[in-house]
Amino acid sequence: MLEIDGVSKRYKGSDSFALRDFSLDVQPGVLGLLGPNGAGKSTLMRIIATITKPSMGSVTWGGSDITKRPDDIRRVLGYLPQDFGVYPNLNADEFLRYMAAVKGVNRKAALGRIDDLLAFVNLVDARKRPLGSYSGGMKQRIGVAQALLNDPEILVVDEPTVGLDPEGRVRFRHLLAELSGDRVVILSTHIVSDIEAVANDIAIMNSGRLVRRSSPEDLLRLVEDRVWEWVIPSSDLQAVRQVHLLSSVVRHSDGVHVRVVSDESPGDGAVLVDHPSLEEAYLYCISSHRGEAV
Amino acid sequence: MSVLSTLMAVVRVGFLNRVRRYSFLVVLVLCIVAGYVFVPAPGANYVTLGWGSDAVFYRGVYNSAWIGSVVALLTGMFLALFGFYVVNDLVRLDEDSGVGQVIATAPLGNPVYTLGCAVSNFLVLGCMVFIVFLTALGMQFVRGEVFAVDLWALLSPFLVIVLPLMFLVAAVAVFFETSLSRSVGNIVYVFLWLFGVPLLSDSIDLIGNNLVISSMRAAGEVVFPGLSQNQFILGYAWGFPEGRELAAFAWSGVQWSLEVVQGRLFVVMLAVCVSLLASLRFNRFDPAGESRGAVVSSMEPVEVSDAGVTPIGEIRLGGLEEGVSFGFGSILLAELRLMLREFPSIGGMGVLVAFGLFAGGLLLPVGSARGMLLPLAWLLPVLYWSKLGTREARFGTGQLVFSSAFFVLRQFLALWLVGFLISLVTGGGVMLGLVLSGEVVGALAVFVGALFVPSLALFLGVWTGSCKVFEFLYVLLWYVGPLSGFVPLDFMGALGGSVAGGVWWFYLGVAFVFFGVGFLGRLRRFGG
């Protein structure tokens, strides 16, 4: 449905590429886009949302080039940017009604939809209060609601759970899981647990490039024999940290229990972990791409 | 950290923040252009300072003293107005960037902060003054009447006259930022400059022109007795000398006495007092503070109860019953509602006033309605017009709305129509009154004004992303044109002369140009 073909993006006045020869074919379901800060995730999101144009390459939606015909994707798009503002003098109802008009949602249909969305994001009680008085998490929830107003066929959400409380995060994950089906959901984040919960497809990015594309299961299989648990004296921790990639450090009475992501055993007494986590698989991919020894 | 080093840190950050903007480069280029224009060539058809009779135009020889003083006086006059708008955003920058929250929690007193902001503003303005000074130096060679440079005579008017005035402007900018809402401050300052400075000029020579001009006049009288009986010109006077004989006299500059220097130090002290006064109004970036507008004061943090929360497992979000359609009516209504919500404290009162103006325009005698009520009717909505095309940039909603289908054209037309509607409701009574009394051309001129104002607002809003350029330019245009009777700038058809002279044809064309170029601005950024 969505095809990204050889896309590069270089911002004016910058020597480096935010995206470089990036290709991806996205089908219905939840695609989790993982990568460290500065990997180019937000740039890719903005290109898909037609806010930014690629310097090279093309993006097509249903066969239509969105650079040339942006309205083809815009009419079915729900977009939650990483940073966005709201109109502080409007309340939640008024803001969502405005956004519904902007997105072409019929007035009658919009009213029911807004009720549903406000219930979903748990803002029914605050719907008549000006948005200027909302906390960061509440504004984020309004952002989530506006992205869903037009019942989008493609939902692009950039770091959607930042600022949400734990319950809000769970609700959002639940919604994404429910929404995925015959629509495309692209979820960009650096919080691996968000992806783990909902994504059936994962793309890992680093330095503007696609590092790996696979299912969560394949990604986990990649590190099945590469994560080690190792008990070391606390005095050795700094030295170990400098040599190995550690995914967790827990102190116990018998020493420090570290989990090491490594192709080979990090030292005597290290044992392979039975069930490596997705976060460890992600760390392994990023470190390998950077050329760091693992 | 000592108070002085804290102050210096505030000054430095504020200064660097502004001078590294691309727009500052543009401002500096404008300063060079201004410096060039302030010293007209002998063959030019305008003058900036001198005395003119029907046959003779008197001015000083273009030596260092004359060029330095003329350029300094004009720079002071113009930067006292334009400079304010260049620097009146430092507190807002700190607030919008979030740095304000950090400053608020630092051991930094309000007086130190506001004084630091004033000094920072002063440095920005000082850079502009310095560029004009360098241009003035160059202009002495360009005009080439006297090649010997007297550096002190050239520089001293900038030091003694302009810099203290710039410090005062810098401090007033901080005071306005801490005391008034942004848009209101932008408009009030124009009026302060137009009416306040001339009113004060007899008691406090803020711009310093009394001192310099009396010295020039005295020198001119020695060579050309009776010179002061002629028309005095200060500013951009078109159509001079035009056929008049040029009579130049040598002037060696003002002797800066202790009394003069004390007078200028008084201006500096005044600036310090204004910046300290600003500290009393400074809310220390507290969003619950009330000192900068009622909008903020109504925004206590919201508490949301968990009662009635839909359990996670029961969440089902169905599809839309009806499809989407991109009708124009819905976006027009939405933009109109959004515009009316800009000032919740005005609320329905604004609509009542607008209809009152409509009725007044219809009921008053045509002459009074057109000449008096219309200028008033089209001044009151300036804060609404100035928001056209700026909202996405001001509130950071661009990514949300510009990723919507068919938005650019629909919203641009809707915004323009909202602005036009405001013109129509407030000035429509006058228009109708003119038609009923048979003055169809007069009504057409007002109608063109109703087209012109939203086009200008939208054009400036789209291209600058800020309200202040329109607020400043429009009020200036309004004052110089319809209010002061300057026919070429009567964009609203308030003057009989402009209607008869067909000035409105010009504004009709300009309205279309502004509309088109404004739309191009939107397309350029978000047209896809």
Q: Which of A90, A106, A120 lies closest to B341 in CB terms?
A: A90
Confidence of residue B97 (pLDDT cuts 50, 70, 90): confident
Residue-level pLDDT at B292: 44
Task: Tell which wins on pLDDT, B327 or B419.
Answer: B419
CA proximity to B388, closest of B332, B335, B434, B424: B335
Cα maximum dimension of chain A: 69
Owner of token pair 């900038």: B158
Q: pLDDT band for B245, please (50, 70, 90 cuts).
A: confident
Contact B299, A130 (CB under 8 A): yes
- Condensed to tens digits (0 to 9), the pLDDT of residues B254-279 reads 999 998 899 899 999 999 999 999 99
The predicted-structure confidence for B459-479, as pLDDT tens digits, reads as follows 999 999 889 899 989 988 998
CA distance A282 to chain B (A): 29
Residue B290 predicted with pLDDT over 80: no
Based on the number of CB atoms within 10 Å of its own CB, is A212 exposed (0-12), middle (13-18) or buried (19 or more)?
buried
Q: Does the structure show a pLDDT above 70 at B1? A: no
Tokens of B412: 């641009």
| CA dist., res. B498 & res. B485, Å (int) | 9
Is the distance from CB of A197 to CB of A216 less than 8 angstroms? no
pLDDT for B300 equals: 56
* A170 contacts on B by Cβ (under 8 Å): 312
Name which of A102, A122, A159 to mutate to probe chain B: the one with the most chain B Cβ atoms within 10 A of its Cβ.
A102
Stronger pLDDT, B488 or B291, i.e. the higher one: B488
Instruction: Please state the rounded mean pLDDT for residues B89-105.
Output: 82
SS3 B5: helix
Across A48-52, A157-161, B63-67, B93-97, the highest mean pLDDT is recorded for B63-67
pLDDT of residue B291: 45
CB nearest B302 (choices: A97, A98, A133): A133
Q: Averaged over B74-80, what is the pLDDT?
A: 91
Residues pairing with A26 in the sheet: A2
Q: Which residues pair with B196 in a beta bridge?
A: none
Query: Token digits for B174?
Result: 């901080």
Write out pLDDT tens, residues B26-47.
889 999 999 999 999 988 888 8
Give residue-wise pLDDT tens across range B326-370: 788 889 999 999 998 888 777 678 888 889 999 999 999 998 899
Interval A147-184: pLDDT, tens: 999 889 999 999 888 878 888 788 888 888 877 778 89
Structure tokens at B146: 């006297």
More confident residue, B202 or B385: B385
A78 touches A155 (CB < 8 A): yes
Interface test with B, best of A42, A103, A150, A154 (most B CBs within 10 A): A103
For all residues of chain A together, what is the average pLDDT?
89
For chain A, what percentages of helix, strand and coil (3-state, to nearest 5) are there?
35, 30, 35
Contacts 24+ apart (CB under 8 A), B254-259: B254/B69, B254/B156, B254/B157, B254/B160, B254/B211, B254/B212, B254/B215, B255/B215, B256/B156, B256/B160
Q: What is the pLDDT of residue B296?
A: 39
Give the nearest chain A residue to B309 (CA atoms).
Answer: A122
Asked if pLDDT for residue B528 goes beyond 50, the answer is: no
Give pLDDT, residue B289. 55
Residue ranges of A 156-195 with Cβ closer than 8 A to chain B: 167, 170-171, 174-175, 178-179
Buried b (16+ CB within 10 A) or exposed e, B28-45: bebbeebbbbbbbeeeee
Q: Does A151 sit within 8 Å of B302, measured CB to CB?
A: no
Low-confidence ranges of chain A (pLDDT < 50): none
Q: Which of B519, B413, B332 is nearest to A101 (CA)?
A: B332
Listed residue (A277, A165, A207, A249) closest to A20, CA to CA: A207
Positive or negative CA dihedral for B433, B436, B441, B443?
A: positive
| pLDDT for position B386 | 93
Percent of chain B with pLDDT over 90: 54
Chain A residues touching residue B325 (CB < 8 angstroms): 104, 106
- Residue B441 pLDDT > 60, yes or no? yes
How many residue contacts between A and B have a Cβ separation below 8 Å? Answer: 160
Q: How many CB atoms lie within 10 A of CB B303?
A: 9
Please check whether residue A134 touches B, CB under 8 A: yes
* CATH architecture of residue range(s) A2-215: 3-Layer(aba) Sandwich (3.40)
Residues of B in contact with A71 (CB under 8 A): 405-406, 528
Residue in A223, A282, A276, A291 with CA at minimum distance from that of residue A32: A282
In which band, very low, low, confident or very high, does the pLDDT at B297 lie, cut at 50, 70 and 90? very low
Whats the size of chain A, residue-wise?
Answer: 294
Residues of chain B with Cβ-Cβ distance to A143 below 8 Å are 400
Please state the rounded mean pLDDT for residues B282-304. 57
Distance CA B335, CA B415 (A): 7
Q: Are the Cβ atoms of A151 and B403 closer than 8 angstroms?
A: no
**In the prediction, which pLDDT does B253 show?**
93
Rg (CA), chain A: 21
Put simply, the answer to whether B324 touches A106 (Cβ < 8 Å) is yes
Task: Kindly report whether the peptide bond that precedes residue B287 is cis, defined as omega within 30 degrees of 0.
Answer: no
Give the pLDDT score at B23. Answer: 79
Indicate which of A53, A65, A89 best probes the interface with B, i.e. most B CBs within 10 Å of its own CB.
Answer: A89
pLDDT of residue B33: 92
Write out pLDDT tens, residues B174-186: 999 999 888 888 8
Asked if residue B252 has pLDDT above 80, the reply is yes
pLDDT band at B454 (very low <50, low <70, confident <90, very high): very high
Q: How would DSSP label each residue in B403-432? A: TSTTHHHHHHHHHHHHHHHHHHHHHHHHHH
B200 Cβ contact partners less than 8 Å away, ≥ 6 residues apart: B206
Q: What is the mean pLDDT of residues B393-409?
A: 90
